């Protein structure tokens, strides 16, 4: 009898375990929801692209650990766009027509998103664009949404706080120089800078573009120095941002303020390479780990990201892109969960009117899929000594100086004072 009871108990526990196993499997069964994208994994945009992809993989893992979406696992399907816009239409055509992914999202950033949009529009797909700068002004595509906090006046968002702070100084600056790469983002940002300069009554004494493949910036900086501007606005991509900083220090250019819309200076590797040469530069940023910018889940994400960064060969801190790439998929995931659908039109309709809770705070979209309210910060590099990574983990070397509601410290003015 005792043996029979033990046998019955074993059979009951086995059946119970099978039921629990079956329940877990049925909670996330079927074919995965496949989300396709191109991403810069090689070429000049790769440092940011690889950082973004790691954060997206963490979202994929977190989502699946929580049961997936619509009772199905999620899976990212991605290809290297090589930082080359010419590869992008083919990648998205393949994802949609051959791979037949359920949904697509954009890669990084403006120059890679613009060539994707004609394909996306033809296929009538939902499209979230990571750091796409004013790309929908010309298209006005109703299924596009920018994961980029520049707001409806996106053209001038990167330099708006720069000009506001400059014109609050006493005496007020009188002249400005504008140098920009001959590329989509930089030219748009330069257009915004010209509008701000005109509004402020500043005289533009230098206004020139340089080719995207330029490597020697000394002649550019010498020409700016000859114009003797009070302010210098630079609109650049990562490699030329580095070249500009090096040339400014070599030539000894010392305006009252310098910086503005320099992509790449947010990357940890760039900060470590340039070290004290960055002191005094003022630049836009979208997120830094200051109290006003930490939201539920932010630090948990960065903990996971930083634990894997070395093995993945990506930015070791991830401040610039990781939270945004994760939030990109949080928006998409929340829309899928709320609508219980993978229909592009239904998802777009929901995203257009909803407010999303993410690791970068609340996101609500406005005109042309831009943010309803801008949230661009202006920061200044200060008191950098040497090239150690540790000084970039905390915020005494990277001070948010505007807008007021995110400010973490005061600007050192003029630029020359920050070099002492």
On the question of pLDDT at 170 being above 50, the answer is yes
pLDDT in tens, 82-100: 999 999 999 999 999 999 9
Which of 109, 108, 110, 128 has its CA nearest to residue 120?
128
DSSP 20: H
What is the helix (H) or strand (E) element at residue 129, kind and residue range?
Answer: strand 127-130
Same domain, 206 and 275: yes
Q: Distance between CA 318 and CA 307 in Å, rounded?
A: 11
The pLDDT of residue 134: 83
Residue 248 belongs to what domain range?
A: 155-285+382-419
Q: What is the pLDDT of residues 185-229, one digit of tens each?
A: 899 999 999 999 999 999 999 999 999 999 999 999 999 999 999
With bands split at pLDDT 50, 70 and 90, how would you rate the model's confidence at 28? Answer: low
Identify the CA nearest to 277 among candidates 325, 228, 244.
Answer: 244
Q: What's the CATH number where 180 sits?
A: 3.40.50.2300
| Alpha helices per DSSP H over 313-377 | 322-339, 344-353
Residue 332 scores a pLDDT above 90: yes
For residues 43-53, average pLDDT: 92
Number of domains in the chain: 2
> What is the average pLDDT across 90-114?
96
Residue 5 confidence (pLDDT) above 60: no
Mean pLDDT in residue range 304-327:
96
Residues 414, 276, single domain; the answer is yes
Task: Tell me what the mean pLDDT of segment 33-41 comes to.
Answer: 98
With a cut of 70, say whether residue 324 has pLDDT above it.
yes
Strand 33-39 vs strand 74-80: parallel, antiparallel, or unpaired? Answer: parallel
> In Å, how far from its chain's centre is CA 18?
45
The answer on pLDDT for 281 being more than 50 is: yes
Are 264 and 363 part of one and the same domain?
no
* Pair 10, 18: CB distance under 8 Å: no
Cβ neighbour number for residue 275 with a 10 Å cutoff: 17
The per-residue pLDDT for 394 is: 81
Task: State the pLDDT at residue 231.
Answer: 98
Quick one: pLDDT at residue 131?
A: 94
Answer whether residue 18 is part of any domain: no
> What span, in angstroms and rounded, lies between the C-alpha atoms of 95 and 35?
9
Q: Is 6 among the domain residues? A: no
Let me know if residue 210 belongs to a domain. Answer: yes
Are 271 and 396 found together in one domain?
yes
276 shares a domain with 172: yes
Query: Looking at the structure, do residues 197 and 54 belong to the same domain, yes or no?
Result: no
Please indicate, yes or no, whether residues 312 and 199 belong to a single structural domain of this protein: no
Domain contains 243: yes
Residue 377 lies in a domain: no
CA neighbor of 142 nearest in space, from 360, 281, 349, 312: 349
Same domain, residue pair 249 and 392:
yes
Cβ pair 74, 33 in contact under 8 A = yes
**Do 249 and 393 belong to one domain?**
yes
Residue linked to tokens 């748009």? 188
Q: How many CB atoms lie within 10 A of CB 22?
A: 11
| SS3 of the chain: helix, strand, coil, percent, to 5 | 45, 20, 35
Same domain, yes or no: 195 and 297: no
pLDDT, position 133: 84
Q: Are residues 139 and 184 in the same domain?
A: no
Residues in the chain: 420
- Rounded-to-10 torsion of CA 400, 403, 407, 410: 70
Whether 376 maps to a domain, the answer reads no
What is the pLDDT, as a whole number, of residue 18?
Answer: 39
Q: Are residues 391 and 250 in the same domain?
A: yes
């Amino acid at each position: 009898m005792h043996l029979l009871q033990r046998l019955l108990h074993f059979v009951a526990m086995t059946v119970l375990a099978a039921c629990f196993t079956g329940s877990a499997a049925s909670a996330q069964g079927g074919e995965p929801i496949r989300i396709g994208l191109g991403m810069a994994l090689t070429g000049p945009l790769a440092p940011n692209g690889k950082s973004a992809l790691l954060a997206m993989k963490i979202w994929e893992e977190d989502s699946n650990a929580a049961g997936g979406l619509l009772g199905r696992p999620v899976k990212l399907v991605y290809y290297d766009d090589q930082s080359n816009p010419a590869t992008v239409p083919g990648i998205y055509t393949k994802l949609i027509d051959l791979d037949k992914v359920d949904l697509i999202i954009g890669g990084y950033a403006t120059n890679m998103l613009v060539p994707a949009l004609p394909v996306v529009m033809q296929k009538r797909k939902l499209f979230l664009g990571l750091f796409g700068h004013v790309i929908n002004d010309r298209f006005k595509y109703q299924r596009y949404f920018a994961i980029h906090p520049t707001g409806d006046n996106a053209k001038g968002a990167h330099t708006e706080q720069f000009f506001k702070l400059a014109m609050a100084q006493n005496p007020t600056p009188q002249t400005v120089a504008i140098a920009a790469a001959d590329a989509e983002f930089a030219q748009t940002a330069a257009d915004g800078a010209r509008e701000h300069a005109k509004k402020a009554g500043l005289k533009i004494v230098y206004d020139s573009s340089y080719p995207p493949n330029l490597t020697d910036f000394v002649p550019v900086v010498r020409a700016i120095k000859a114009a003797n501007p009070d302010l210098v606005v630079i609109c650049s991509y990562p490699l030329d941002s580095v070249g500009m900083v090096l040339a400014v220090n070599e030539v000894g250019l010392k305006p009252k303020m310098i910086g503005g819309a320099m992509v790449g200076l947010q990357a940890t590797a760039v900060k470590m390479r340039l070290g004290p040469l960055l002191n005094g530069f003022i630049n836009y940023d979208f997120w830094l780990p200051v109290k006003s910018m930490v939201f539920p889940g932010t630090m948990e994400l960065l903990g996971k990201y930083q634990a894997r960064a070395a093995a993945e060969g990506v930015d070791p801190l991830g401040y610039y892109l990781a939270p945004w790439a994760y939030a990109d998929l949080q928006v998409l995931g929340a829309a899928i969960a709320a609508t219980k659908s993978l229909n592009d039109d239904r998802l777009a309709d929901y995203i257009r009117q909803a407010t999303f809770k993410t690791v970068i705070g609340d996101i609500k979209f406005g005109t042309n899929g831009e943010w309803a309210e801008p949230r661009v910060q202006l920061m200044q590099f200060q008191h950098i000594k040497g090239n150690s990574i540790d000084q970039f983990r905390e915020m005494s070397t990277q001070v948010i100086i505007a807008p007021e509601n995110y400010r973490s410290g005061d600007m050192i003015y003029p630029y020359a004072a920050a070099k002492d």
